[in-house]
């Protein structure tokens, strides 16, 4: 069964629309800056959405009051995707429209804020809606509430692989006949400060203690995917959503097709809680399985949008895996978003798909921001310094998460009738 991608939406550190994200990537914009809980770069960097997005402009005040920022991002990104697909929400069949959403930590900022307020101001300061804000499934639940949907609704939480695993899950629903349309995406973050009461989230302190943070103070050098000088990550936030439809459903309503979901794969690294297997054996396997599911060969793939975290161990394993999947006879072009957006967690893979689809449409592939000297171990072509003008017919996206969560998907301009 062919699965069409008919709509896209995003809230990102580069802006609040798909065009903002893509135009920012092409321009080499950096969404990394002083963290909203910090007063200087020395106190911390973060790729934030908070100063670009006003949920009160488009959402019922009761929804704003009853949701964590991550759910607000998801609601807004999903609304843009529906509009982009030309789908009137009232036309959605409530029983054959599914929602699949991915997130690593759900409403963790609400938890951190509640603890901060409790310790500073006592029990009475705790938000009475804390419980309905924190659960990871609340983004999907709020989307179902917004559109009166009663079809399958599921939340996927596989760390940074969550968005690609969400797409793979959505495809299963469509191919099993459990839905005709699936609203699918992933979201991370949502920091806000009540009445200017800023707080340092515990997970940020944990990143520093674990050695994950890059520790850089220059936003343009804070994340260096595939660079010889890479040292770590800067966390970010945002959401990206898609409308997926069966080919028959899309054709019946005359939908514009933005791309085709060819296929994907997911597997467990089973090596370490945070570090990948050093040779990238399981990352290689998940890429190969995704290609097999999409019925494409490595030679047919024009672009690899890599996970490319900018961590020494993470990049090394992925470079070795890509080297083996695309041998030196196949000069696939690789790129990644995290130099621009920071590491947006669960949403990073979905944002990469948006960048790839726009490259298919325009012939312009964004380069990796920040990276200057590519690791010589990479035997493939890495897009740096400036966008590439090229014809992109098929691209692959990787997402690898803590716990050995490996996922990869294939997107193409033309349907190839895989996965039937």
Maximum Cα interatomic distance, the chain, rounded to a whole number of Å: 66
* 23 and 170 fall within a common domain: yes
* 39 and 146 fall within a common domain: yes
* 222 and 299 fall within a common domain: no
Domain residues for 304? 263-412
* 87 and 191 fall within a common domain: yes
Q: Is residue 258 part of a domain?
A: no
What domain count does the chain have?
2
**Domain final residue, candidates 225, 252, 279:** 252
* 230 and 184 fall within a common domain: yes
Dist. CA 234–CA 80, nearest whole Å: 27
* 235 and 286 fall within a common domain: no
Query: How distant is the alpha carbon of residue 326 from its chain centre?
Result: 24
pLDDT of 207 reads 86
Indicate which CATH number applies to the domain containing 74: 3.40.47.10
Structure tokens at 176: 């099993």
Q: Is residue 420 part of a domain?
A: no
CB 91 within 8 A of CB 254: no
* 302 and 216 fall within a common domain: no
Consecutive 10-residue runs of the chain (420 residues): their mean pLDDT? 97 97 97 92 90 89 94 98 97 98 94 90 89 96 98 97 98 97 97 79 86 88 95 95 98 97 97 93 98 96 97 96 88 96 97 98 97 96 97 98 96 78
* 217 and 279 fall within a common domain: no
Of 416, 420, 409, 355, whose CA–CA distance to 166 is shortest?
A: 409
pLDDT of 211 reads 84
Residue 385 to residues 315, 333, 337, 360, 399: CA-CA distances in angstroms?
A: 19, 14, 13, 20, 23
pLDDT of 195 reads 66
CB 365 within 8 A of CB 416: no
Dist. CA 280–CA 278, nearest whole Å: 6
CB 189 within 8 A of CB 341: no
Q: Give the pTM.
A: 0.96
pLDDT of 420 reads 45
Dist. CA 132–CA 114, nearest whole Å: 13
Query: How distant is the alpha carbon of residue 205 from its chain centre?
Result: 23
Q: Is residue 257 part of a domain?
A: no
The 10 Å Cβ neighbour count of residue 27 is 13
* 169 and 287 fall within a common domain: no
The strand pair at 388-389 and 364-365 is best described as antiparallel
**Domain final residue, candidates 252, 285, 305:** 252
CB 137 within 8 A of CB 83: no
Dist. CA 69–CA 139, nearest whole Å: 10
Of 78, 418, 50, 407, whose CA–CA distance to 263 is shortest?
A: 418
**Domain final residue, candidates 198, 232, 252:** 252
* 338 and 360 fall within a common domain: yes
pLDDT of 215 reads 84
Q: Is residue 418 part of a domain?
A: no
* 243 and 275 fall within a common domain: no
Structure tokens at 349: 């893979």
* 202 and 319 fall within a common domain: no
Dist. CA 104–CA 333, nearest whole Å: 29
């Amino acid at each position: 069964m062919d699965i069409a991608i008919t709509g896209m939406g995003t809230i990102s550190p580069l802006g609040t629309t798909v065009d903002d994200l893509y135009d920012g990537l092409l321009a080499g914009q950096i969404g990394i800056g002083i963290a909203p809980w910090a007063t200087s770069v020395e106190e911390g960097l973060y790729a934030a959405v908070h100063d670009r997005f006003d949920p009160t402009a488009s959402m019922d005040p009761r929804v704003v009051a009853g949701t964590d920022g991550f759910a607000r991002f998801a609601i807004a990104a999903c609304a843009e995707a529906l509009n982009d697909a030309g789908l009137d929400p009232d036309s959605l069949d409530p029983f054959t429209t599914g929602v699949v959403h991915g997130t690593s930590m759900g409403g963790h900022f609400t938890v951190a804020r509640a603890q901060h307020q409790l310790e500073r101001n006592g029990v009475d300061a705790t938000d009475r809606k804390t419980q309905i804000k924190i659960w990871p499934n609340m983004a999907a639940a709020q989307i179902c509430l917004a559109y009166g949907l009663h079809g399958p609704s599921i939340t996927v939480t596989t760390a940074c692989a969550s968005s690609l695993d969400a797409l793979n899950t959505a495809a299963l629903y469509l191919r099993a006949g459990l839905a005709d349309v699936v609203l699918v995406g992933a979201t991370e973050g949502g920091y806000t400060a009540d009445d200017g009461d800023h707080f340092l989230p515990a997970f940020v302190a944990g990143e520093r203690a674990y050695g994950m943070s890059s520790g850089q103070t220059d936003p343009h050098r804070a994340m260096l995917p595939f660079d010889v000088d890479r040292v770590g990550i800067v966390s970010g936030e945002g959401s990206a959503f898609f409308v997926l439809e069966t080919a028959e459903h899309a054709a019946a309503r005359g939908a514009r097709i933005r791309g085709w979901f060819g296929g994907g794969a997911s597997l467990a690294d089973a090596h370490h809680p945070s570090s990948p297997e050093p040779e990238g054996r399981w990352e290689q396997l998940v890429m190969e399985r995704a290609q097999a599911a999409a019925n494409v060969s490595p030679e047919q793939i024009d672009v690899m949008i890599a996970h490319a975290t900018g961590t020494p161990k993470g990049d090394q394993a992925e470079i070795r895996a890509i080297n083996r999947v695309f041998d030196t006879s196949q000069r696939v072009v690789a790129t990644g978003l995290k130099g621009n957006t920071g590491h947006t967690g669960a949403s990073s893979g979905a944002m990469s798909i948006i960048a790839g689809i726009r490259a298919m449409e325009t012939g312009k592939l964004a380069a990796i921001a920040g990276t200057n000297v590519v690791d010589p171990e990479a035997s493939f072509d890495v897009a740096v310094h400036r966008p590439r003008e090229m014809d992109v017919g098929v691209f692959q996206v990787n997402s690898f998460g803590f716990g050995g969560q490996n996922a990869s998907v294939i997107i193409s301009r033309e349907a190839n009738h895989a996965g039937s």
